[in-house]
Amino acid sequence: MAADYSNTANVLDTDNTDTAQVPDDIFVIVASSDKRSDYLSWREYFMSTAFLASLRSKDPATRVGACIVNRQLQIVGIGYNGMPRGCPDDKMPWGKSSPDRLFNKHLYVCHAEMNAILNKNSADVENCVLYSTLFPCNECSKIIIQSGIKEVVHYSDKHRKKPETIAAKRMLAKANVETNQFIPTMERLVIDFTEVNK
């Protein structure tokens, strides 16, 4: 079952205005007219977090990010595709076209979804939702299922014809892990570091 975002108090919307000196009726008018309307929805926020994590990836071909959210809408894990700990980025292969598989990245890279699950800052990720910029592969789907994640929200499905993705979808469906594609309401999200100083 998909998480219900509609009835959850948005902690980001809570302002700290001191209402002690302000009559109730005036405060209501001020609050309703001052509230921003262009804030991110929860799903936009979590998917954007996954995209932000993907910017850490050193993979020249594929940047993937993932973000895990619990039922209280708290982020409990973030990951991106990268080499295992202790395997220096500069000494590992990042290509994928060598005839010798040992010189390609695939045998070494840890995928974003796996890293997000392993990097969790909670006891487990049971009943959580995993946001990923790309539909999870079969290997990550196995880990998603075994970890108790109950929903996957993905952005891209560009590998939908690959056997890995088809196998992933078969397993997720049989394990009753819900999958939903994220449809953005905007094409891009710009982070303007200078805005806070204006």
Catalytic residue numbers? 113
Least CB distance from residue 135 to Zn ion, whole Å?
Answer: 9
Nearer to Zn ion, 76 or 109 (CB): 109
Least CB distance from residue 148 to Zn ion, whole Å?
Answer: 18
CB 154 within 8 A of CB 132: yes
Q: Which residue ranges make up the site for Zn ion (CB under 5 A)?
A: 111, 137, 140
DSSP string, the chain: -----TTS--GGG------TTS-HHHHHHHHHHHS-S-PPPHHHHHHHHHHHHHTT---SS---EEEEE-TTS-EEEEEE-BPPTTS-GGGS---S--SSGGGSSTTTPBPHHHHHHHT-SSS--TT-EEEEEE---HHHHHHHHHHT--EEEEEE-TTTTSHHHHHHHHHHHHTT-EEEE---SSS-----TTGGG-
Least CB distance from residue 155 to Zn ion, whole Å?
Answer: 15
Least CB distance from residue 83 to Zn ion, whole Å?
Answer: 14
Nearer to Zn ion, 43 or 111 (CB): 111
Nearer to Zn ion, 45 or 152 (CB): 152
Nearer to Zn ion, 73 or 93 (CB): 93
